[in-house]
Each structure stands twice: as C-alpha cells, then as structure tokens.
C-alpha cells in the first residue's frame, strides 16, 4: 500500500511513521509513505498557501492551487481524503475500506479552512475524527494512517489481536487484565483465572455488550437493529 500525505508540517509525521507498528509495516514492505510539503507547490517568492476568505470573516483559507498541483505530482488516485471538521465521521468500517485499497492520499488543512474547490475538484472525501476542532489536519491524518495500516495483513503479526479490538464487531472491547492477579486490593475477575474458555468467552461477550450499552448507546442501537 502507498500512503501519501500533503501537509504544511512534514515533521509531524517523521517519528510516528518510523515507530512501532507503522514503522515495522514500512520496514516489512507492507506500506510506503510519502509526505510532501504543501509550500513546494507554490510559485511566488513567499511560498504563499493561504488568503483571506471571500465574503469576509476571520481567519485565512488555504488556496486550491497547491493542493491540485500536489495531487497531480503524487499521481493521487481515490481515495483522496481531506481531513475536515465538517467531514463524515471516520469509523472502523471506513478504515477497513481504505485498507483494502492500494493507495491512500491524505490532505491536511490548517488555519481557518481549505478552499472548498479542493474537495470538489479532486473528488476528495471529507473526513473528521470527531466532534471537535484541531489546529490542523496532521493529528487527524496520523489517526487515519494508524487505523488503516494496522489492518494490513501482517502488520500486527496477530490477526486475533485486531479482531478482538473495540469496534471490530460493532461493540466496545471488554476489559483486559494481566499479572499480578491482585494489586492494591484490586482483583482480576475470578472467571479469567478459571481456565474455563467457554466461561471466559461468555464473560467477555457480556462485558462488551454492557460497556457498549452504557458508554456508546449509538453503537448499541446500530448493533441491536
């Protein structure tokens, strides 16, 4: 898989893309990253990437030309993703869809906004990682890359680990415990120490359902349909 990122801050990606699962996946040849500087696609001496919004208002808007030229240089193919607070919510299902493709291009906004013609003209999917606003698209892009790359076959080395994560089956994951069995008066549930795999599986399923009902009623409603 090829992951391409357009950003004003390439240094944001240096350590994360070379560390842990993302770094190991690249070292194993499962994914190749290319991160480009948006200002490299400008043609004035100041490398201008933003301008005041038409219609007035506070803040600056990123211009369309550098994004279009970057996409052309990268030979970007769908999916092209613009990280945006007004985008559709990024979900596990979207991560799975991206992971099944051969490439993914992420466009990181900054300042007030990105000219809407970037999304419209490049047929980009506008995606948000939650109902909050970040200073730029870089942290959101890293979330997307991590969620996608860990799903690539061989990235984790243990498919069962991914398949038991929250959201994989539409539910939150049950609680996890490890040694020691008792710590500061806090005990590991007896069922997990029982060695009875059927009872352990039933306990985990019940906990996943309970936590999803309590903490994410929106997910539970979908799962209950």
User: What pLDDT is recorded for position 161?
Assistant: 57
Q: Among candidates 175, 3, 179, which has minimal Cα distance to 104?
A: 3
User: What pLDDT is recorded for position 110?
Assistant: 92
CATH homologous superfamily for the domain 164-224: tRNA(m1g37)methyltransferase, domain 2 (1.10.1270.20)
User: What pLDDT is recorded for position 163?
Assistant: 59
pLDDT digits (tens, 9 = 90+) for 14-45: 999 999 999 999 999 999 999 999 999 999 99
225 pLDDT exceeds 70? no
- Give the SS3 label for residue 80: strand
- Residue 223: CB partners within 8 Å, gap ≥ 6? 170, 171, 212
- Candidates 3.40.1280.10, 3.40.50.620, 3.30.450.40, 3.40.640.10; CATH matching 2-149: 3.40.1280.10
**Sign of CA pseudo-dihedral 149, 37, 71, 63:** positive
Where does the pLDDT of residue 211 fall: very low under 50, low under 70, confident under 90, or very high at 90 and above?
very high
pLDDT digits (tens, 9 = 90+) for 75-88: 999 999 999 999 99
Structure tokens at 16: 């994360």
pLDDT digits (tens, 9 = 90+) for 111-156: 999 999 999 999 999 999 999 999 999 999 999 999 999 999 999 9
Beta bridge partners of residue 7, listed in sequence order = 37
Q: What is the mean pLDDT of residues 169-180?
A: 93
Segments making up each domain of the chain, as ranges: 2-149, 164-224
User: What pLDDT is recorded for position 222?
Assistant: 87
Query: Mean pLDDT over all residues of the chain?
Result: 94
224 pLDDT exceeds 50? yes
pTM of the model: 0.91
Q: Cα-atom radius of gyration of the chain, to the nearest Å?
A: 21
Where does the pLDDT of residue 157 fall: very low under 50, low under 70, confident under 90, or very high at 90 and above?
confident
72 pLDDT exceeds 70? yes
What's the rounded Cα separation, in Å, for the pair 222 and 224? Answer: 5
Where does the pLDDT of residue 160 fall: very low under 50, low under 70, confident under 90, or very high at 90 and above?
very low
């Amino acid at each position: 898989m090829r992951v391409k990122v357009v950003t004003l801050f390439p240094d944001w990606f240096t350590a994360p893309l070379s560390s842990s699962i993302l770094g190991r996946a690249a070292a194993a040849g499962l994914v190749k990253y290319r991160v480009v500087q948006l200002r490299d696609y400008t043609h004035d001496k100041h490398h201008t990437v933003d301008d005041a919004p038409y219609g007035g208002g506070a803040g600056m808007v990123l211009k369309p030309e550098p994004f279009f030229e970057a996409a052309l240089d990268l030979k970007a193919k769908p999916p092209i993703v613009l990280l945006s607070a007004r985008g559709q919510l990024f979900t596990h299902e979207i991560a799975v869809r991206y992971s099944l493709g051969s490439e993914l291009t992420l466009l990181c906004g900054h300042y007030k906004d990105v000219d809407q013609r970037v999304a419209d003209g490049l047929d980009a999917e506008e995606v948000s990682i939650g109902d909050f606003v970040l200073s730029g698209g870089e942290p959101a892009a890293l979330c997307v890359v991590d969620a996608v790359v860990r799903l690539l076959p061989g990235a984790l080395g243990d498919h069962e680990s991914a398949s038991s994560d929250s959201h994989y089956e539409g539910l939150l994951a049950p609680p996890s415990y490890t040694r020691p069995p008792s710590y500061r008066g806090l005990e590991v549930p007896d069922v997990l120490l029982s060695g009875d795999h059927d009872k352990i599986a039933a306990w985990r399923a019940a906990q996943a359902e309970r936590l999803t009902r309590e903490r994410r009623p929106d997910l539970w409603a979908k799962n209950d349909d």
